[in-house]
Chains A and B, each alone.
Chain A
């Protein structure tokens, strides 16, 4: 009987053929934590009594959520991670290097591997054909010590996307549309497999955006076939030798097939306070925005900055709106500098934020005031997410975000693209 991508990768890591629903102990290739979850992982790891990490070079500790640290308690947590890395030989990615998921795809994860991370958006690496999933601190502590984890092999939903996006419509609109369609718990315990001509033609950056948000539908992983684009991505980052063809069997069994026509999509926005509360942009034109934030593991890549810069070039941000831009990693920042994008942002009135999570999680910079509205390219808009329960967060593509920053209210980028 044929296997899905999830079943194939987990089978390889279990040493036998597995199918959806089975409970397995699987080998882990890469384990990761961030500064919010890492200190608790360190504490739990020490309880295990293991002297060594199972795989130190592939145990990565990211300082990205509160980076640079806005207060001493968090600085102390950062010290815990730095000390642990020295003591056990784990890799550290420190302040300014970028958001964990961006750094993982740039440098650490390869097709066919299993990545477990103490961060829910670990699913981002699924776009590289890796089985990547988020867990809690204790699970990662055990994965770091044993090089293994327990998994229930997930059933898979096949998301089949055909057709071309209209101008001004992007893969972010597709994933917001999908989440609105099936709901924030529509794919709980499932893996999503994205296929179809639209996905095939899509750039890696866009696949990462889709994989990143799989968890917002409750999914365990968001998976993609690997192809020439995956190969080129790895080659650019010196890992061409790590390319492998990952694909499902033609007779794989899917629990559900969801078909979407990309031609029919229009810019879509998630409204407060849940990601599945989606509306099309035309219904939101009266919503004034106090802050626009372009960045994060969802849409802070060079491709996202390019499209935002294209819209902002020669224009100025609306006087009642502030624009924050955070390139997802130092590599993205360097590229943006080379291409002159940072100059465009600064000229337009934007404030540049250190590469990392920035305002996304409300730990430091960019916290909303009471009643303020933020339009962000991130993946989550829960109440209190950006540091204030009295704030209102809308989620969109970089296109919608950049154009709305100029207009001062939620606006449809198809007017200018």
Chain B
């Protein structure tokens, strides 16, 4: 599977408060509306500028903070193709995979805003088309690949009637 899109660049330590602000708590019951504000507190223009399939590209510890699953949910609902970061906070990582949002771990230093990217998951690299460079991806753990392929945790349990991960 190859995914193509444009890079939107963010820094280190993008928290769930940046992604899905607490002050918009009341929108948690209306995720499509909430998605119009995705990442608003890190880049107020992001939601209006991004196109379906574009990538969120960040530094270290993306998604730190609260356990709110609304954060990966609204990134997915907004149509982001994948979040590409140097590292992810634990709960965010787990939530994203549970709901089927693709996360890519790699060195993002060589990616700038507006770069055109292609992610080749099978070959395991991100191709920076604009800069003609290739960046190696840290392989996803097996459990994550399985959950992603099956459409997330709920679908996994419905299919197998129980956990079928180990």
Contacts and interface: CB of A to CB of B under 8 A. Distances in A.
Interface of A: 23-25, 36-37, 39-40, 44, 47-49, 65-66, 71, 73-74, 76-77, 117-120, 122, 134-139, 141-142, 145-146, 148, 150, 184-185, 188-189, 215, 218, 220, 274, 361-363, 367, 380, 382-385, 387-389
B23 A384 contact: yes
B91 A66 contact: no
A77 B27 CA distance: 10
A80 B114 CA distance: 42
Contacts of A119: 66-67
Contact of B23 (A25, A117, A363): A363
B17 interface: yes
Contacts of A36: 25, 28, 66, 68
9 interchain residue pairs of minimum CB distance? A136-B69, A136-B95, A73-B26, A185-B61, A382-B17, A362-B22, A382-B15, A120-B67, A137-B69
Interface string B4-33: 000000000101011001110111111000
Contacts of B98: 136, 138-139
Given A184-B13, A363-B23, A23 B69 contact: no
Contact of A138 (B30, B64, B65, B152): B152
Interface string B41-69: 10000000000000000001100111111
Nearest to B72: A136
B140 interface: no
B128 interface: no
A253 to B, nearest CB: 21
A39 B17 CA distance: 19
Interface stretch (B75-83, B118-126, B131-139, B153-161): B153-161
A118 B67 contact: yes
Nearest to A388: B23
A274 B65 CA distance: 10
Contact of A383 (B18, B64, B153): B18
Interface of B: 13, 15, 17-18, 21-23, 25-30, 41, 60-61, 64-70, 72-73, 87, 89-91, 94-95, 98-99, 143, 152-154, 157-158, 162-163, 165-166
A150 B165 contact: yes
Contacts of A367: 23
Contacts of B29: 39, 73, 76-77
A146 B163 contact: yes
A384 B64 contact: no
B91 A135 contact: yes
22 contacts: A23-B143, A25-B165, A37-B67, A48-B154, A48-B158, A119-B66, A120-B65, A134-B67, A136-B69, A138-B99, A142-B154, A145-B157, A150-B166, A184-B61, A185-B89, A188-B61, A189-B90, A218-B64, A274-B13, A362-B21, A362-B25, A363-B23
B137 to A, nearest CB: 19
Nearest to A357: B22
Given A47-B154, A119-B67, A135 B163 contact: no
A138 B69 contact: yes
Contact of B153 (A39, A40, A120, A142): A142
A193 B124 CA distance: 36
A134 B61 CA distance: 17
A382 B18 contact: yes
Given A136-B69, A362-B22, A384 B158 contact: no
A97 to B, nearest CB: 19
Nearest to B44: A389
A136 B143 CA distance: 17
B106 to A, nearest CB: 16
B69 A37 contact: yes
Contacts of B153: 138-139, 142
Contacts of B23: 362-363, 367, 384, 387-388
A41 B29 CA distance: 12
B21 to A, nearest CB: 5
Given A25-B166, A384-B17, A120 B154 contact: no
Contacts of A122: 67
B90 A150 contact: no
Nearest to A134: B67
Nearest to B152: A138
A24 B22 CA distance: 33
A335 to B, nearest CB: 29
B28 A40 contact: yes
A120 B26 contact: no
A150 B163 contact: yes
B144 to A, nearest CB: 11
B22 A40 contact: no
A47 B162 CA distance: 14
A118 B152 CA distance: 17
